[in-house]
Amino acid sequence: KGAWDRIKAEEKAEKAARRGKGADFVPQEQGVLAGVPTTLPGLTRAVKLQDKAGKVGFDWNDPRAVIAKMREELDEVEQALDHGGAAERTEEIGDLLFVTANLARHLDVDPERALRGANAKFQSRFAHIERRLAALGRSPAQATLEEMDALWNEARAEDKRA
């Protein structure tokens, strides 16, 4: 719990600094995290930052602890949805993505590759919806969410059979 409290205090300090300097503010790199390029894709950079911090003991030793952190971050997203503005929602989604990258790291999953796979799966399933609706002379814009959801589930079932 001590490490977690320290992480949250550092996050809050960095968030306060960003608020004063704009959303794209990146602090001058030094110390343990130095050398992780800011030009990397976000998920990849998150994993590299977390890996460096983990090498000096700033890490969870159980993926289930990361999952608990994800639940906490989801609660914070929900609070921002209920009471926050766009900046707070953006901040909380960023925190959720950062923790998601950390879970991927703990499970030896490349988050960029996993997301590319999820994107391809989404695209394929949505194409199924479009094809099935086109066969009925309709477009997705002319269908209800319920109709599209049923077709999505049909595509999902076909994926599981394949």
**pLDDT tens-digit map of 52-91:** 999 999 999 999 999 999 999 999 999 999 999 999 999 9
Q: Which residue's structure tokens are 């639940």?
A: 71
Contacts of residue 35, Cβ cutoff 8 Å, sequence gap at least 6: 29
Q: Give residue 27's pLDDT.
A: 56
Instruction: Return d(Cα 13, Cα 147) in angstroms, integer.
Output: 47
Q: Give residue 49's pLDDT.
A: 97
> Under a CB-based contact definition with an 8 Å cutoff, are residues 27 and 17 in contact?
yes
Q: Give residue 9's pLDDT.
A: 65
> Under a CB-based contact definition with an 8 Å cutoff, are residues 67 and 103 in contact?
yes
Give the pTM: 0.78
Looking at residue 50, the DSSP 8-state letter turns out to be: H
Q: Give residue 20's pLDDT.
A: 56
The residue ranges of the chain whose pLDDT is under 70 are 1-29
